[in-house]
Chains A and B, each alone.
Chain A
Amino acid sequence: MESEANKILDEVTQGDYKYGFVTDIDTEFAPVGLSEDTIRYISTKKNEPEFMLEFRLKAYRHWLTLVQPKWAHLRIGPINFQEIIFYAAPKKKKELSSLDEVDPELLATFNKLGISLDEQKKLAGVAGIAVDAVIDSVSVKTTFSDTLSKHGIIFCSFSEAVQNHPALVKQYMGSVVPYTDNYFAALNSAVFSDGSFCFIPKGVRCPMELSTYFRINAANTGQFERTLIVAEEGAYVSYMEGCTAPQRDENQLHAAIVEIVAMKDAEVKYSTVQNWYPGDKNGLGGIYNFVTKRGICKGNNSKISWTQVETGSAITWKYPSCILLGDNSVGEFYSVAVTNNYQQADTGTKMTHLGKNTRSTIISKGISAGKSNNSYRGLVRISKNAVNSRNYSQCDSLLLGARCGAHTYPYIQVDNKSSIVEHEATTSKISEDQLFYCQQRGISAESAIGLIVNGYAKEVLKQLPMEFAVEAQKLLSISLEGSVG
């Protein structure tokens, strides 16, 4: 049983990373290394207004005063910021006015990834998905912008937003994640290149799923994108994010920021399927995914929901968080984090309850296999004024194989008497009873494990929008089927 299991595990782990190809696109780069000149270069390149350059420089000067934090349960190789290219963009041949003018190589790339930039090509029976496609440092195409603008929704790349809606950008950028927040947030604030911007006006329910697809293509570059979502009073939006990168032997840095602002009665649902290149089975290469994601429920009765499926990256370090400021606001966090081979993940959430009657739910499912380490780290903080607040957390870990690690660091702080906080967690391997039950009914060990793991993660997967759920389920089975302990 043991050796057979190992064989299956090996087969699975030797499977190639499906998205590891490189596209040959004409790319222009910023000079290697980081300095004020690099930042000025990026800002000039993007023709940014003065306030943006100032923001970047302030962030950079602050970053210089910081040191890389060491508290995470991660082993991070040294990062030499002077060897990274901070800006890489596919060369524009001319101004784009229609899809036909997008570099066919780019289109082919996204088609290969299963992302259609063609607005005509809708999924049968499903409303279209508006996609903002980001390759390396810039957004190449945003679909359905026109349809959305009829509803008053602004969905465009961050650079366009800076050009066309500077007042909105100035008002909200850095209001949830200030540049002083942490080491990688400061770095991102200094050098961020592009990302998505989304603004849903008062009372509007976004008619389709919005999506950003991130792709790292060029070598030796870092990707630093920034996403800002603002939902005005009574608005609703569901937002999805996907990402892949080519297979390379060196580690590439990805340090992003996502900010969400939900005003009174607004609801934002943010889903991520993260599938950056995880490195090979010996732990060589892979993306360092150091992301700061935070949403603020600013108005009363607002809601922010994070759902993430983390399967990629050599190192994942992120804590999508909710600041529950408005009374009766709701924060949710659903996560499946899978690590295999030498992958490391330190992920979780922070729920900061400030308003009255605020509620939060945390469901985290960690799965570790191979020689990986998977940590859940979460903070639930109920402040003195957050009376009658409620939190329920459940964070389970599944271990597949005797050489992986699963760790749980829940921080709970309660400062008033009327709130209720519950936390529970279990760690175990796949139950032998369940496995035996499946196998004696003729289901192979491999399929049985796929079944059990999918069942284990179902509570989270069902939170995903349908289009994503399919991809996520596939990803899970690719990563884990057959890895019996």
Chain B
Amino acid sequence: MQPENKEIITAERFISLFEKNRAFLETFDTKALVKIREDAMASFTRLGFPDTTMETWRLTDLEESFNRGYDYHLQPFEDVDAQKVFRCNIPHLDTAVIGQLNGWYVSKDVPLMELGNGIIMGSLADARKKYPQLIEKYFGTMADDAGEGFTALNTAYTQDGVFIYVPDNVKSPKPVQLINVIHHDQNLFLQSRNLIVVGANARLSLVHCDDSYNHQASFSNIVTEIHVGEHGVMDHYKLQNLNNNSTLISSVYFRMEASASLESHYISLNGGLLRNNIRVLFNGPHGTANIYGIYLMDRRQHVDNQVFVDHAHSGCTSNETFKGILDENARAIFNGHVLVRRNATKTDARQSNKNILLTDTARVNSKPFLEIYNDDVKCSHGSTTGQLDPESMFYLRQRGIGEETARMLLMFAFADEIVTKIAIPQLRQRIEDMVKKRLQGELQICEQCVLHCSTPEHPMEFQIDMSKI
């Protein structure tokens, strides 16, 4: 099958492409999956791609991205140099690494790993063939196909991605690192679909990285569904370091059963246009969700975080903290939405968004939005936008620290509130390094994967003469 030519992105293109390839896409589908696919396509036909007339897309205009023109592949990429992908692991941290190239699972030796303790990990395409019941039970049950065009399109075109299943009462012994590298010599549109199931009393740490290998433009539409069972624990890290020509629409749907607990970290370091749709549904009482975000943007980079937390049951706690530093012509959007439903008593929900603007051309839009239908709740939100505190600056300067270093220190301290929440020490160390590099303007996507920018033996330090303090 030939790749689709470099065409601009329109809804019509994907509707007609679907019609042409319907049989091919549905080759391994069960009856139920065919229905999900077809329903999603019907939704997409109705919704199309979002535009700026929609409230949640008001400030993110995709027209420029759409018009770049992209190839779209319905077949996996061949001649993969897997080594390139797998180089990105974190030093001194024993992780199970799953690689994805342009959204396709890189099969190394086995497409689907079945670990002794019942954990299944690997390609969604293979899991669909091998575990149809398991897939049917969870697939498409969390993603919002009826309300979001991108998600509907992704569901309709589901082919490959990552599938992780942690059975009840099993704690994943080591963190799973999922690396999606975009590497192609043409502009590329790619979609991948991930399904992660953490059973009751189970536990999983997932580090999900999106990286680009070169400066070629790309447009990614990635949908991840994450189910956390009763008393399950999910530790989720999303690391985004893409080139300035890339557009990433990342939609993550969490479904939290009773007493489930979630820690999610969004670390956006680089990217042309990043859009994070983060949706958390409390599907049972007493769940906890902590969602942290840090974005460090410059040039014409654009980051848009849309966080929706649905308190559908009582006694749940949610906390959103998003912080950002914006330089040059960067733009950041934060749109938090907490919905407390009628019966969700004893809800505790917090939202916070803090921004630092470094130039007069950087822009921030913040909308921490609360929608509350119950009185027995504790909800709060806060948003600030400003500069580095002049008094702190003065304090550092009068102790002989140069202006540039003082600025770096303060910015790092600002970002560190989020970074320090990372529970895995090796990962925290690595991200601290990356944030430092990023603030000094040294972290860009390079010919090598960014995770190799420094080694743990020589961690990044600010050049401060400590004797002067």
Task: Pick the most buried of B361, B367, B374, B375: most chain A CB atoms within 10 A of its CB.
Answer: B375
Q: How many angstroms from the CA of A413 to the CA of B372 in the assembled complex?
A: 24
CB of B380 closer than 8 Å to a CB of A: yes
| Partner among B360, B366, B371 whose Cβ is within 8 Å of the Cβ of A412 | B366
Assess the B372–A403 pair: CB atoms within 8 A: no
Assess the B372–A423 pair: CB atoms within 8 A: no
A71-B55, A424-B382 given as contacts; is B375 within 8 A of A416 (CB)?
A: no
Q: How many angstroms from the CA of A414 to the CA of B378 in the assembled complex?
A: 28
Assess the B374–A423 pair: CB atoms within 8 A: no
Q: How many angstroms from the CA of A444 to the CA of B380 in the assembled complex?
A: 29
- Number of A-B residue pairs, CB cutoff 8 Å, is 120
Residues of B330-386 at the interface with A, using a CB-CB cut-off of 8 Å, are 342, 345, 355, 357-386
Residues of B199-240 at the interface with A, using a CB-CB cut-off of 8 Å, are none
In the assembled complex, the CB of A380 is this many whole angstroms from the nearest CB of chain B, namely 9
CB contacts (< 8 Å) of A405 on chain B: these are 371-373
CB of A427 closer than 8 Å to a CB of B: yes
CB of A436 closer than 8 Å to a CB of B: no
CB of B75 closer than 8 Å to a CB of A: no
Q: How large is the interface on B (under 10, 10 to 19, 20 to 34, 35 or more residues)?
A: 35 or more
Assess the A420–B385 pair: CB atoms within 8 A: yes
Q: How many angstroms from the CA of A237 to the CA of B359 in the assembled complex?
A: 39
CB contacts (< 8 Å) of A397 on chain B: these are 370, 372
Assess the B370–A425 pair: CB atoms within 8 A: yes
In the assembled complex, the CB of B274 is this many whole angstroms from the nearest CB of chain A, namely 19
Q: Which residue of B lies closest to A391 (CB)?
A: B385
Q: How many angstroms from the CA of A413 to the CA of B369 in the assembled complex?
A: 14
Assess the B373–A423 pair: CB atoms within 8 A: no
CB of A428 closer than 8 Å to a CB of B: yes
Q: Which residue of A lies closest to B58 (CB)?
A: A411
In the assembled complex, the CB of A11 is this many whole angstroms from the nearest CB of chain B, namely 19
| Partner among B369, B374, B376, B385 whose Cβ is within 8 Å of the Cβ of A414 | B385
Q: How many angstroms from the CA of A71 to the CA of B58 in the assembled complex?
A: 13
| Partner among B360, B369, B383, B386 whose Cβ is within 8 Å of the Cβ of A409 | B369
Q: How many angstroms from the CA of A71 to the CA of B372 in the assembled complex?
A: 18
CB of B454 closer than 8 Å to a CB of A: no
Assess the B383–A418 pair: CB atoms within 8 A: no
Q: How many angstroms from the CA of A387 to the CA of B369 in the assembled complex?
A: 27
Assess the B367–A409 pair: CB atoms within 8 A: yes
CB of B387 closer than 8 Å to a CB of A: yes
Assess the A427–B379 pair: CB atoms within 8 A: yes
Q: How many angstroms from the CA of A414 to the CA of B361 in the assembled complex?
A: 10
Q: Which residue of A lies closest to B359 (CB)?
A: A417
Q: How many angstroms from the CA of A425 to the CA of B381 in the assembled complex?
A: 5
CB contacts (< 8 Å) of B366 on chain A: these are 410, 412-414, 423
Q: How many angstroms from the CA of A406 to the CA of B375 in the assembled complex?
A: 9
Assess the A421–B379 pair: CB atoms within 8 A: no
A402-B342, A414-B355 given as contacts; is B368 within 8 A of A423 (CB)?
A: yes
Q: Which residue of A lies closest to B350 (CB)?
A: A426
CB contacts (< 8 Å) of A315 on chain B: these are none
A417-B359, A417-B360, A429-B376 given as contacts; is B381 within 8 A of A412 (CB)?
A: no
CB of A400 closer than 8 Å to a CB of B: yes
CB of A407 closer than 8 Å to a CB of B: yes
CB of A355 closer than 8 Å to a CB of B: no
CB of A274 closer than 8 Å to a CB of B: no
Residues of B359-417 at the interface with A, using a CB-CB cut-off of 8 Å, are 359-387
Assess the A414–B364 pair: CB atoms within 8 A: yes
CB contacts (< 8 Å) of A409 on chain B: these are 367, 369
In the assembled complex, the CB of A355 is this many whole angstroms from the nearest CB of chain B, namely 15
In the assembled complex, the CB of A419 is this many whole angstroms from the nearest CB of chain B, namely 7
| Partner among B357, B367, B376, B384 whose Cβ is within 8 Å of the Cβ of A416 | B357
Assess the B382–A427 pair: CB atoms within 8 A: no
Assess the B365–A417 pair: CB atoms within 8 A: no
Chain A 175-192 interface 0/1 with B at a Cβ cutoff of 8 Å (1 = within)? 000000000000000000
A399-B372, A408-B369, A423-B383 given as contacts; is B363 within 8 A of A413 (CB)?
A: yes
In the assembled complex, the CB of A215 is this many whole angstroms from the nearest CB of chain B, namely 35
Assess the B382–A417 pair: CB atoms within 8 A: no
Assess the B359–A421 pair: CB atoms within 8 A: no
Assess the A418–B375 pair: CB atoms within 8 A: no
Q: Which residue of A lies closest to B340 (CB)?
A: A427
Q: How many angstroms from the CA of A428 to the CA of B369 in the assembled complex?
A: 15
Q: How many angstroms from the CA of A411 to the CA of B342 in the assembled complex?
A: 25
CB contacts (< 8 Å) of B357 on chain A: these are 414, 416-417
Assess the A412–B380 pair: CB atoms within 8 A: no
CB of A281 closer than 8 Å to a CB of B: no
A71-B55, A419-B386, A423-B382 given as contacts; is B376 within 8 A of A402 (CB)?
A: yes
A405-B371, A407-B371, A421-B385 given as contacts; is B364 within 8 A of A416 (CB)?
A: no
Q: Which residue of B lies closest to A429 (CB)?
A: B375
In the assembled complex, the CB of B374 is this many whole angstroms from the nearest CB of chain A, namely 6
In the assembled complex, the CB of B390 is this many whole angstroms from the nearest CB of chain A, namely 11
CB of A404 closer than 8 Å to a CB of B: yes
A384-B360, A425-B370 given as contacts; is B383 within 8 A of A410 (CB)?
A: yes
Assess the A404–B364 pair: CB atoms within 8 A: no
Assess the A400–B375 pair: CB atoms within 8 A: yes
CB contacts (< 8 Å) of B377 on chain A: these are 399, 427-429
A408-B381, A421-B386 given as contacts; is B372 within 8 A of A427 (CB)?
A: yes
Q: How many angstroms from the CA of A155 to the CA of B364 in the assembled complex?
A: 43
Q: How many angstroms from the CA of A409 to the CA of B366 in the assembled complex?
A: 10
CB of A485 closer than 8 Å to a CB of B: yes
Task: Pick the most buried of B364, B376, B383, B387: most chain A CB atoms within 10 A of its CB.
Answer: B383
A residues whose Cβ falls under 8 Å from a Cβ of B: 71, 73, 384, 387, 397, 399-429, 485
22 contacts between A and B (CB under 8 A): A384-B361, A397-B370, A405-B371, A407-B371, A408-B370, A408-B381, A409-B369, A410-B367, A410-B368, A411-B365, A412-B366, A412-B385, A413-B364, A414-B357, A417-B357, A417-B359, A417-B362, A421-B383, A421-B384, A425-B370, A428-B377, A429-B377
B residues whose Cβ falls under 8 Å from a Cβ of A: 55, 342, 345, 355, 357-387
Known pairs A405-B371, A413-B366, A423-B382; list 19 more (Cβ under 8 Å). A71-B55, A384-B361, A399-B377, A402-B342, A402-B375, A403-B342, A403-B373, A406-B370, A408-B370, A412-B385, A413-B363, A419-B386, A422-B383, A423-B381, A426-B379, A427-B378, A427-B380, A428-B378, A428-B379
